[in-house]
């Protein structure tokens, strides 16, 4: 409540990064559908229409998403955050208590799991954290189902045992189902690794008594798969047709943790942190959120120290499985950076994902459990009879009978020694250490001086941990417990401030640090906004002061944003990029989106999703220029000046134009610039100047001032402007000659040179694209060839004269129902992405309704409508969603019945007696021949 609830009440809800640009708006949209009585299956606002439930990221079937149907968005989000971290901490505490560990040890283990490491750092990826929060509850159920007879929760009567076993099976199924329903495949994979690994360990330790436990655990896992079927069945169908349907090793390996960055498990802000209190922000080539795995120094001490207690006989300690899972978590996080990567890539579901560094959650969970085991009895006490651990404690923890723990001391000192070594190396060899870690030399030299002071707190914590390891065996148990708790809590607070939360220094405004952004990705200054309502641009360029959302610009159709470098993140937020537009019913749809999946054909044609899954607001310049976007009803595109002009003549190789007689060429600058001189490369400069070629400067009002081109050399035309002209474009007209012109170089009044050769310079050209306005620092271009939401085409061999179409419901940007009239039938093209799941129905004015096949016409949908007057209705239903819904309902019913089993002890006692009698009768029948033989 303090971390998530109070800030929300004060108007500062915790919505960082992907939560704000993806997770939150998708859940708002899902909640709106649920409130309207619709299944949240379709998102009309991104990717020209995309799956919502089957797209995974919305968590549309997750129970906490239902809060968005009854509460305001921020309230529902904040409540979900509180519940998620409460579940994570409480479920881990219950699991550790189920392991017969003490309250303090269980509390510290739960605290480390929930509020440190990746669970805390990954707050920006809500689905991942929400899914992992239920894993400890599944582990508790496995523990109860596979524990020895007579343990707490398993009464001795057969009927009661059966009832309780069914209850724990229900809990296992429910928790695993919730992991799936959270909508994050990474959480599903990591949860499966942890739960399956622990279940195998527990069941095999039962030996001859393993069958009932194995059947119960398998049944619970099947129930979990069934409960989550509404998510994974349509989700897997969407993956099969997405850009990840044929995953590559490059996709799998992208985002794998560099092996040298495992040092971040010792000092999490070694490459910069959250930017708190003027601390250097993360300056590595990746992202701090994705590489953070610091659950504290004591969990690492515990993992190493416990190794000294491993004994092969008489039996391996029960906590050894967590050592194995910790090592496995490291291998999975390294992903493609290990030889095992080529094998892991071939694992179904797992091999189709990227960002393997997130698997570090497996390590963090295992370390939290090992911490609890160690804190429960961290050090063998002295050999006095009154303080010697009893037999049970020795059995659980693997303790010797007494004496100074030399092996544990040496192993336990390794993590604190590692932290201190890193701090010392940062002071003595700082720049060299950072270069060894893979950062640039310039960045290393510039930040090391400011970085070192923020590493010292971890050094002090390491000294405290080392003192506990060396001298803790001399302390009384109560003081030892207090010291453990103090170190863990201090560690979590320091980690949260320096590696998770951005705390502004006194007198500065607070804000989230732009971690991981290169220095060149600074916000562009200046900019204006506009208000336009027409699809065809008016003369001139409209400008005002404040940026506004794209939906407020007044355009119809869909929009696109080109800013793959995220050069102006603040301006992007003001524009309300694609996913955010879905938060309002009046939002404007987009041809782009920010989700994990997009139809493979769509992604390939538009370039709106990188092959490795990275990038936001990306497009293929070829798709912008060749008309691909026209059929998607793309009426407006916004971009920054940096993508139209550069500061170097050879930077991007764009901007070359070939003009015939009386033709014009236009180069947009992306911003109003006071132009003093323009030079244009021209191999035949003297001949073209003699033929009367002219160069013009277009102003904000839409007028063009023309100047006669002069040949300043054999290969360069130029104009000098007596009084600098505020221009938004350079224009050339050839007159009576043909010309081949290079990218113009524009000299501003302040001497700055702009070369019109940015990556979009050859794409945003008339007659298709026209600069119509500025919105903040973004230039707004309108597409005159946008197709419109519905287009009539003639059937082969039939005329389309006199045919008409009129909307009946929804808006013109996403029609669901349309009235059609035609004498001979028509092809009706709908500017919505042709993804699997769409059906159409034709209901004539007189007659029965018939189904119409929905086919792909390029990227969009087309239906052949019969002659006559009637209504065409489109419906979307995710493939396999019906089967998934049926399985989920059936599993939910079984889980409910099993959960209530303990309330019907008489029924299960009767069943147990029947089974017992049947078994006795079978034994009597089997013994009868032996008795006769003996007689």
- Say whether 186 sits in a helix, a strand or coil: helix
Backbone angles phi, psi at 604, to 5 degrees: -70, -40
Q: Give me the pLDDT at residue 65, please.
A: 95
Cα Rg, the chain, nearest whole Å: 33
Centroid of chain to Cα 853 = 35
pLDDT > 70 fraction of the chain, expressed in percent and rounded: 85
Instruction: Please write the tens of the pLDDT for every residue from 787-840.
Output: 888 899 999 888 888 888 887 876 655 678 899 999 888 999 999 999 999 999
C-alpha 416/C-alpha 300 separation (Å) is 9
Centroid of chain to Cα 631 = 29
Mean pLDDT for the stretch of residues 277-306 = 88
Instruction: Please write the tens of the pLDDT for every residue from 695-718.
Output: 999 988 888 999 998 888 888 899
Q: Give me the pLDDT at residue 654, please.
A: 85
Instruction: Please write the tens of the pLDDT for every residue from 485-526.
Output: 999 999 999 999 888 887 655 444 333 333 333 333 332 222
pLDDT band at 277 (very low <50, low <70, confident <90, very high): confident
Q: Give me the pLDDT at residue 395, please.
A: 44
The answer to whether 374 touches 302, Cβ cutoff 8 Å, is: yes
Q: Give me the pLDDT at residue 5, please.
A: 85
C-alpha 562/C-alpha 616 separation (Å) is 9
Mean pLDDT for the stretch of residues 661-681 = 90
C-alpha 143/C-alpha 206 separation (Å) is 12
Q: Give me the pLDDT at residue 441, please.
A: 59
Q: Give me the pLDDT at residue 518, please.
A: 30
Q: Tell me how far CA of residue 926 lies from CA of 920, 929, 930, in angstroms.
A: 10, 7, 8
Mean pLDDT for the stretch of residues 849-874 = 93
Q: Mean pLDDT in the chain? A: 84
Give the count of alpha carbons within 13 A of 511, CB side only: 9
Residues constituting the chain: 935
Q: Is the peptide bond before 314 cis (omega within 30 degrees of 0)?
A: yes
Q: Give me the pLDDT at residue 528, please.
A: 29
Q: Give me the pLDDT at residue 221, please.
A: 96
Q: Give me the pLDDT at residue 812, please.
A: 55
- 278: region left, alpha or beta (phi > 0 left; psi from -120 to 50 alpha): left
The answer to whether 849 touches 843, Cβ cutoff 8 Å, is: yes
Closest-CA residue to 833 (of 575, 667, 599, 543) = 599
pLDDT band at 236 (very low <50, low <70, confident <90, very high): very high
Q: Is residue 380 pLDDT above 60, yes or no?
A: no
pTM recorded for the entire structure: 0.86
Please indicate whether residue 174 or residue 290 has the higher confidence score (pLDDT).
174
Q: Is residue 530 pLDDT above 60, yes or no?
A: no
Instruction: Please write the tens of the pLDDT for every residue from 433-484.
Output: 888 888 765 566 678 888 888 899 999 999 999 999 888 878 888 888 899 9
pLDDT > 90 fraction of the chain, expressed in percent and rounded: 47
* HEC profile of 762-810: CCCCCCCEEEEEEEECEEEEEECCCCCCEEEEECCCCCCCCCEEEEEEC
Instruction: Please write the tens of the pLDDT for every residue from 615-640.
Output: 789 999 999 999 999 999 999 999 99
pLDDT band at 150 (very low <50, low <70, confident <90, very high): very low
pLDDT band at 902 (very low <50, low <70, confident <90, very high): low
Q: Is residue 534 pLDDT above 70, yes or no?
A: no
Q: Give me the pLDDT at residue 881, please.
A: 95
C-alpha 95/C-alpha 514 separation (Å) is 37
Q: Is residue 388 pLDDT above 80, yes or no?
A: no
C-alpha 113/C-alpha 139 separation (Å) is 14
- Say whether 658 sits in a helix, a strand or coil: strand
Q: Give me the pLDDT at residue 437, please.
A: 86
Instruction: Please write the tens of the pLDDT for every residue from 581-624.
Output: 888 777 889 999 988 889 999 999 999 987 767 678 999 999 99
CA angle 639–644–650, rounded 5-degree value: 150
Closest-CA residue to 634 (of 588, 590, 587, 580) = 590
Instruction: Please write the tens of the pLDDT for every residue from 194-210.
Output: 999 999 999 998 888 88
Q: Give me the pLDDT at residue 191, please.
A: 95
């Amino acid at each position: 409540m303090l971390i998530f609830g109070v800030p929300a009440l004060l108007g500062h809800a915790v919505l960082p990064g992907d939560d704000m640009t993806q997770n939150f708006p998708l859940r708002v949209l899902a909640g709106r559908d649920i409130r309207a009585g619709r299944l949240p299956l379709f998102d009309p606002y991104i990717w020209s229409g995309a799956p919502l439930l089957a797209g995974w990221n919305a968590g549309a079937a997750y129970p906490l998403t239902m809060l968005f149907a009854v509460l305001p968005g921020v309230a529902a989000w904040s409540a979900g955050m509180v519940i998620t971290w409460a579940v994570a901490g409480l479920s881990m505490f219950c699991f550790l208590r189920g392991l017969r560990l003490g309250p303090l040890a269980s509390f510290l283990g739960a605290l480390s799991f929930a509020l440190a490491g990746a669970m805390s750092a990954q707050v920006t990826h809500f689905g991942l954290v929400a899914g992992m929060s239920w894993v400890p509850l599944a582990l508790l159920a496995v523990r109860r189902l596979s524990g020895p007879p007579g343990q707490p929760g398993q009464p001795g009567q057969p009927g009661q045992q059966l009832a309780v076993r069914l209850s724990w099976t229900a809990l296992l199924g429910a928790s695993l189902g919730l992991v799936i329903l959270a909508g994050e495949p990474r959480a599903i994979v990591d949860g499966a690794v942890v739960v399956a690994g622990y279940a195998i360990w527990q069941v095999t330790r039962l030996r001859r008594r393993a069958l009932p436990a194995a059947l119960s655990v398998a049944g619970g896992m099947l129930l979990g798969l069934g409960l989550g079927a509404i998510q994974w069945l349509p989700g897997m169908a969407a993956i099969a047709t997405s850009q990840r349907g044929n995953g590559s090793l490059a996709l799998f390996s992208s985002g794998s943790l560099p092996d040298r960055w495992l040092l971040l498990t010792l000092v999490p802000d070694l490459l910069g942190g959250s930017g708190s209190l003027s601390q250097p922000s993360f300056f590595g080539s990746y992202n701090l959120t994705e590489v953070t795995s610091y659950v504290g120094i004591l969990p690492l001490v515990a993992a190493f120290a416990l190794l000294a207690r491993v004994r092969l006989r008489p039996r391996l300690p029960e906590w050894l499985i967590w050592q194995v899972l910790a090592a496995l978590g490291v291998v999975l996080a390294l992903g493609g950076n290990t030889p095992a990567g080529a094998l892991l890539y071939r694992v179904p579901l797992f091999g189709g994902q990227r960002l393997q560094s997130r698997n570090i959650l497996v390590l963090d969970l295992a370390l939290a459990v090992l911490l609890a085991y160690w804190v429960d009895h961290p050090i063998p006490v002295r050999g006095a009879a009154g303080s010697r651990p009893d037999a049970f404690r020795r059995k659980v923890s693997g303790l010797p009978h007494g004496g100074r723990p030399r092996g544990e001391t040496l192993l336990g000192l390794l993590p604190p020694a590692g932290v201190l070594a890193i701090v010392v190396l940062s002071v003595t060899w700082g720049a060299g250490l950072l270069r060894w870690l893979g950062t640039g030399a310039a960045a290393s030299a510039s930040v090391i001086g400011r970085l070192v002071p923020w590493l010292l707190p971890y050094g002090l914590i390491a000294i405290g941990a080392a003192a506990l390891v060396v001298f803790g065996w001399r302390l009384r148990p109560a003081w030892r417990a207090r010291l453990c708790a103090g170190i863990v809590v201090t560690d979590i607070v320091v980690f949260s401030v320096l590696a998770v939360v951005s705390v502004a220094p006194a007198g500065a405004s607070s804000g989230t640090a732009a971690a991981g952004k290169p220095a060149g990705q600074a916000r562009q200054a200046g900019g204006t906004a506009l208000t336009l309502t027409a699809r065809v641009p008016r003369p001139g360029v409209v400008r005002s002061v404040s940026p506004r959302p794209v939906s407020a610009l007044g355009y119809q159709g869909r929009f696109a944003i080109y800013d793959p470098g995220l050069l102006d993140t603040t301006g992007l937020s003001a524009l309300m990029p694609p996913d955010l537009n879905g938060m309002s019913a009046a939002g404007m749809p987009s041809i782009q989106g920010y989700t994990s999946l997009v139809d493979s054909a769509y992604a390939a044609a538009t370039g709106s999703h990188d092959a490795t899954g990275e990038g936001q607001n990306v497009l293929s310049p070829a798709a912008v220029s060749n008309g691909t976007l026209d059929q998607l009803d793309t009426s407006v595109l916004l971009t920054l000046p940096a993508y139209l002009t550069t500061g170097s003549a050879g930077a991007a190789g764009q901007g070359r134009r070939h003009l015939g007689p009386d033709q014009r060429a236009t180069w947009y600058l992306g911003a109003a610039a006071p132009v003093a001189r323009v030079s244009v490369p021209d191999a035949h400069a003297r001949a073209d100047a003699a033929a009367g070629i002219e160069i013009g400067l277009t102003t904000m009002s839409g007028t063009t001032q023309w100047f006669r081109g002069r040949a300043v050399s054999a290969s360069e035309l130029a104009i000098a402007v007596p009084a600098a002209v505020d221009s938004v474009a350079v224009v050339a007209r050839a007159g009576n000659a043909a010309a081949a012109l290079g990218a113009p170089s524009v000299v501003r009044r302040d001497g700055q040179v702009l070369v019109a050769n940015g990556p979009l310079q050859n794409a945003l050209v008339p007659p298709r694209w026209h600069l119509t306005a500025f919105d903040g620092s973004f230039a707004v271009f309108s597409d005159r060839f946008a197709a419109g939401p519905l287009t009539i085409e003639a059937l082969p061999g039939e005329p389309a004269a006199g045919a008409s179409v009129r909307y009946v419901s929804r808006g013109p940007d996403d029609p669901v129902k349309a009235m059609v009239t035609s004498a001979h039938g028509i092809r009706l093209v709908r500017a919505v992405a042709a993804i699997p799941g769409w059906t159409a129905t034709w209901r004539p004015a007189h007659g029965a309704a018939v189904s119409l096949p929905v086919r792909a016409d390029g990227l969009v949908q087309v239906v052949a409508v019969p002659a006559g007057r009637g209504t065409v209705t489109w419906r979307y239903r995710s493939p396999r969603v019906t089967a998934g819904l049926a399985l989920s309902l059936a599993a939910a019913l079984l889980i409910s019945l099993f959960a209530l089993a303990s309330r019907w002890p008489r029924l299960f006692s009767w069943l147990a007696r029947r089974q017992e009698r049947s078994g006795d009768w079978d034994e009597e029948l089997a013994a009868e021949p032996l008795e006769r033989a003996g007689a």
